[in-house]
Amino acid sequence: MENTDPALLPSIIFTTAAQLVDCVDKKLLVVLRDGRKLIGILRSFDQYANLVLQDTVERIIVQSMYSDIQRGVYIVRGENVVLVGEIEPEKEESIPLKEVSLDEIYAARQDEIDHRRQRELTKNSKLMDIGFSIDTQQDDMY
Amino acid sequence: MLFFSFFKTLIDEQVIVELKNDMSIRGTLKSVDQFLNIKLDDVSVVDEVKYPHLSAVKNVFIRGSVVRYVHLPGAVVDTALLEDATRKEAASQASKAGGR
């Protein structure tokens, strides 16, 4: 890991750079802590995994449907990054998802949120009945 | 830096990384850095039905801060060596602290 060549970056930067440097100029899937999925071309990054993405689309996935929203250039602050995946172009066409319109995906997502909330309410009231106290604070898990 | 060194000995092994959002990813450990960021090759998500978006992805970079567990194949961990290394690290930390 030690490099003696002064032309190279200091080794402490070098280790992180070694990880993302081969992803530059490739089409990547970036998953953020809030669950968003961004697909774009990686143009730059640093040791915090701050990222610059070009021609980004945000992909909303609900069950087996998806829809893309054009977003443009993104600078993502590293702390929000969960993972960065390199997309295989050959496999990209065969993803087991069906593209639908934005309106459809928003409706499906709202349905899912409502459904989950309803289930949560039922669960909480059941738990309350048998004497548990409920912490209703939603956590983002990170 | 003990865990960094430890993970470096596991390179090219099959591991399962469990993230704090409950997603688990199986793959070959390709590299680790000082933040314990992890790079995996030939990835597959353990619950593919729940996370279909990773099916077209071949390798991932996982930020160290979102990792909950790394499941390792037991056979590749030399526990005796790890114990030794831990003692050595603790001793060197202690002597550093004493020197101040």
Q: What is the ipTM of this complex?
A: 0.85
Yes or no: say if A82 and A107 are a contact pair by the CB < 8 Å rule: no
- Cβ–Cβ below 8 Å for A82 and B21: yes
Query: Contact B2/B86 with Cβ under 8 angstroms?
Result: yes
pLDDT for A138: 62
Gyration radius (Cα) of chain B, Å: 16
CB contacts of A88 in chain B (<8 Å) are: 56-58
| Distance separating alpha carbons of residues B83 and A74, to the nearest angstrom | 45
C-beta atoms of B55 and A95 within 8 A: yes
Do the Cβ atoms of B19 and A61 come within 8 Å? no
Is 2.30.30.100 the CATH number for B2-99? yes
A39-71 per-position pLDDT tens digit: 999 999 998 899 999 999 999 999 889 999 999
Q: Residue A15 pLDDT more than 70? A: no
Res A133: pLDDT: 85
Q: Which residue has the higher pLDDT, A15 or B16?
A: B16
Is the pLDDT confidence value at A137 over 70?
no
**pLDDT 10s digits, A77-115:** 999 999 999 998 888 888 888 999 999 999 999 999 999
pLDDT for residue A2 is more than 80: no
Q: CA dist B26 to A9, B56, B82, Å?
A: 32, 14, 24
Domain edges within chain A: 11-100
Fold of A11-100: SH3 type barrels. (2.30.30)
Report chain B residues whose CB lies below 8 A from the CB of A33: 21, 66
Q: What is the mean pLDDT of each run of 10 residues along chain B (100 residues)?
A: 90 95 94 92 90 89 95 90 91 80
Cβ atoms of residues A72 and A57 within 8 Å: no
Residue B97 has what pLDDT? 83
Work out the angle at residue B55's Cα, subtended by the Cα atoms of residues A96 and A81, and round it to the nearest 5 degrees. Answer: 125
d(CA A140, CA A35): 9
Q: Cβ B37–A16 below 8 Å, yes or no?
A: yes
Measure in Å the smallest separation between the Cα of B32 and chain A Cα atoms: 8
Q: What is residue B48's predicted lDDT score, i.e. its pLDDT?
A: 85
| The predicted structure's pLDDT at residue A96 | 84
